[in-house]
Amino acid sequence: MSGSRSEAKKPFQLTAAGYVVSDGKVLLVAHKQLRKWLPPGGHLMQDNEGMFVESPEEAAIREVREETGLEVEMRGRKYYAHDPETEMLTIPESMHIHPIDAKHDHLGVDFFCVPKGTVGKQKGAERCRWFSEDELKNYPSDEVLGIPVHVRATAMKAMERLTKSLKR
């Protein structure tokens, strides 16, 4: 794909992920089915009629908690709310459509976040690993669990931005 979807467009599901940065490292989880290191994330929750019952931001925070055991807060910009009835959400750092299988794709919404409080051993549902910038740059291409190019680039952007902002 060269930046646009092909003529044979597939339906997609909406997902959200959180790139968690702490101490100059980013946390990725081992996705068992896709056999890749990915940021913690997953599908937005829907009710029985298919209506979304959480925002992408809420989904990313929930998924990080479920998969890693960490409580996180978003880091990013929000637009100004012009009336009190409008809830303004954090602007995603990345949005993309990527293939999943022959029947559907995922529309992914990525956020940058940091842990609330101290970070101990991860106690979530997934196997996790903290990656430094050097580990991401030099991760072997022949490993069983790969790191997609988009994930590597976005993880490095998250580390650069959040490490600088935390030092201020």
Q: Which domains are seen in the chain, by residue range? A: 12-167 (3.90.79.10)
pLDDT in tens, 72-118: 999 999 988 899 999 999 999 999 998 888 899 889 999 999 999 87
In this structure, what are the phi and psi dihedrals at residue 11, rounded to the nearest 5 degrees?
Answer: -65, 160
Tell me which residue of 90, 85, 97, 81 sits closest to 10, measured CA to CA. 97
Amino acid at 156: M
Residue 149 pLDDT > 80: yes
Task: Assign 144 a pLDDT band (cuts: 50, 70, 90).
Answer: confident
Q: What is the spatial distance between Cα 60 and Cα 74, in angstroms, rounded to a whole number? A: 9
Q: What is the pLDDT of residue 2?
A: 52
Q: How many CB atoms lie within 10 A of CB 83?
A: 5
Residue 1 pLDDT > 90: no
What is the enclosing helix (H) or strand (E) of 13? strand 12-22
